């Protein structure tokens, strides 16, 4: 019945064939009208609007980073000034620091998230518990990032919850200054909110692994560790890669947590973009945005390359 499904996908209500209809301009108009009221028309129109309103600005900004600008006035000559500035002003350090932080946070999320996702997909028995965890991982997308970050100040500050409590218990004499406005506080603030980004794709990938496959591996005498290594991890790889991207990229570009919990002492990429744009150095901001975009692109490219290799050539349409 291949023929049948193919036909339906192609042309569910038989509107594509116009050979029984008038020819020439009239036929063209009839075809356009049908295209518009069919389901395809709106999608094509939306895709064009989306490209013009959303994708073009991104391309333009890359181009913009190659221009020089004073305030809102653009000078129309192409130069690598903005990029030279990044190196000369020593701001490349920011790139290194941000990438280190993003890599570390991604690694922590992966180490904690993979077993957690595995447990959730294959070991958790109670339907209610699974639903609860799934809900708990969804809700963070809908929380105000500044509000939930701000509270950490009240927890980690020198007069905050942790220091006060420890001093009351006589465990420390003076408040620990490194708790807030440090790499530690930034890491702490970033791990929680981006943990779901890691767990969800891995969970979905593991969920798709047939239980029979895992059972078969055990029946053939494989230890749980061997099953994990040779069955689960390879099959969950697309999910793991997606989790890494969904965690690394937004952490790299997060501007709220470093601003609130970094206290301006340790600058991150997004801080720099903000301060450059505040000082109206938009070409510089665009250059940094381009760098973030480029790093994202490289990661995505690696992901696609990896997936193609894993699935095999030709299998990817």
Partner 1 sequence: MSEVVEIAAALDAVDILHQYSGVTALDHVSLRVQEGEFLTILGPSGSGKTTLLRIIGGFETPVAAQRLSIAGIDVRGLPANHREVATVFQHYALFPHMSVGQNVEYGLKVRGVMPAGRRKRAEEGLRLVRLSDKYDRRIHQLSGGERQRVAFARALVTEPRILLLDEPMGALDEKLRREMQVEVRALQRHLKATFIQVTHSQEEALTMSDRIAVMHRGRIEQLGTPADIFDRPATRFVAAFMGMTNLIDGTVSGIDGKITQLDAAGQLLLGTWTGPRPPALGQPAFAAIHPQRIAIDPSARTGNGWNCFGGQALSAAYRGAHTDIQVSSQIGPLTAAVAGMGISGAVAVSVGWRAEDCAMGPAGELDS
Partner 2 sequence: MIAAESFAYKAALREARLIRVAVWVTLIAGFGVTALIYAPVIWLGVLSISVDPLAGLPGAFTMRWYGSLFTSTGWIQPLFISLEVAVIVSVLCMVSAMLVGRALPRLKHGRGLLLGAFLLPLVVPGIVVGIDIFIYYKMFLTFKMGLWSLVLVHFIWAFPFALIGMLVISSRFDVRLLEAAADLGAAPWRRFWDIERPLLMTGVVTAGMFGFMLSLTELPRSIFVAGRTQTLPLFTWAETMSRGSHISLIYCLNTLIAVISVALSVLSVWLLGRRVKS
What number of chain residues touch partner 2 (CB under 8 A)? 99
Q: Pick the piece of the chain touching partner 2 (CB under 8 A) from 21-29, 77-85, 205-213, 292-300.
A: 292-300
CB of 219 to partner 2, least distance (A): 15
According to the binding rule CB under 8 A, does residue 289 interact with partner 2? yes
The rounded distance, in Å, linking the Cα atoms of 300 and 102 is 16
Find the length of the chain: 317
Q: Which is nearer to partner 1, 7 or 49 (CB)?
A: 7
Name 75's bridge partners.
68
Among 9, 14, 170, 211, binds partner 1 (CB under 8 A): 14
Q: Which is nearer to partner 2, 147 or 315 (CB)?
A: 147
According to the binding rule CB under 8 A, does residue 278 interact with partner 1? no
CB of 39 to partner 1, least distance (A): 16
Enumerate residues 47-86 that contact partner 2 by CB under 8 A: 47, 50-51, 53-58, 60-61, 64, 69, 72, 74
CB of 290 to partner 2, least distance (A): 9
Q: Pick the piece of the chain touching partner 2 (CB under 8 A) from 22-30, 87-95, 202-210, 253-261.
A: 253-261
What number of chain residues touch partner 1 (CB under 8 A)? 16
According to the binding rule CB under 8 A, does residue 19 interact with partner 1? yes
Task: Compute, in degrees rounded to 10, the torsion defined by CA atoms 217, 220, 224, 228.
Answer: -30
Q: Which is nearer to partner 1, 2 or 211 (CB)?
A: 2
- Catalog residues that contact partner 1 under the rule CB under 8 A: 1-4, 6-7, 10-15, 17, 19-21
């Amino acid at each position: 019945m291949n023929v049948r499904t193919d036909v339906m996908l192609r042309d569910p209500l038989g509107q594509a064939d116009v050979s029984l209809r008038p020819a020439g301009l009239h036929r063209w108009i009839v075809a356009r009208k049908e295209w518009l009221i069919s389901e395809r028309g709106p999608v094509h129109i939306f895709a064009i609007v989306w490209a013009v309103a959303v994708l073009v600005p991104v391309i333009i900004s890359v181009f913009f980073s190659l221009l020089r600008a004073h305030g809102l006035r653009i000078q129309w000559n192409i130069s690598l000034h903005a990029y030279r500035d990044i190196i000369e002003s020593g701001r490349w350090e920011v790139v290194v620091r941000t990438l280190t932080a993003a890599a570390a946070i991604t690694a922590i999320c992966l180490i904690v998230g993979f077993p957690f996702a595995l447990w959730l997909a294959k070991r958790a028995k109670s339907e209610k518990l699974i639903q609860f965890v799934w809900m708990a991982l969804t809700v963070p997308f809908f929380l105000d990032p500044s509000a939930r970050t701000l509270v950490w100040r009240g927890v980690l500050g020198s007069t905050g919850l942790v220091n006060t409590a420890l001093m009351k218990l006589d465990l420390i004499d003076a408040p620990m200054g490194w708790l807030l406005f440090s790499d530690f506080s930034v890491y702490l603030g970033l791990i929680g909110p981006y943990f779901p980004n890691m767990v969800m794709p891995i969970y979905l990938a593991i969920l798709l692994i047939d239980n029979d496959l895992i059972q078969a591996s055990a029946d053939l005498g494989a230890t749980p560790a061997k099953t994990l290594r040779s069955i689960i991890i390879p099959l969950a790889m697309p999910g793991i890669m997606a989790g890494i991207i969904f965690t690394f990229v937004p952490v790299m570009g997060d501007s709220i947590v470093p601003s609130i919990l970094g206290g301006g002492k340790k600058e991150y990429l997004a801080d720099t973009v903000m301060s450059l744009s505040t000082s109206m150095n938009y070409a510089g901001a665009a250059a940094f945005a381009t760098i973030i975009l480029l790093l994202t692109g490289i990661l995505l490219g690696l992901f696609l390359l990896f997936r193609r290799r894993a699935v095999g050539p030709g299998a990817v349409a």
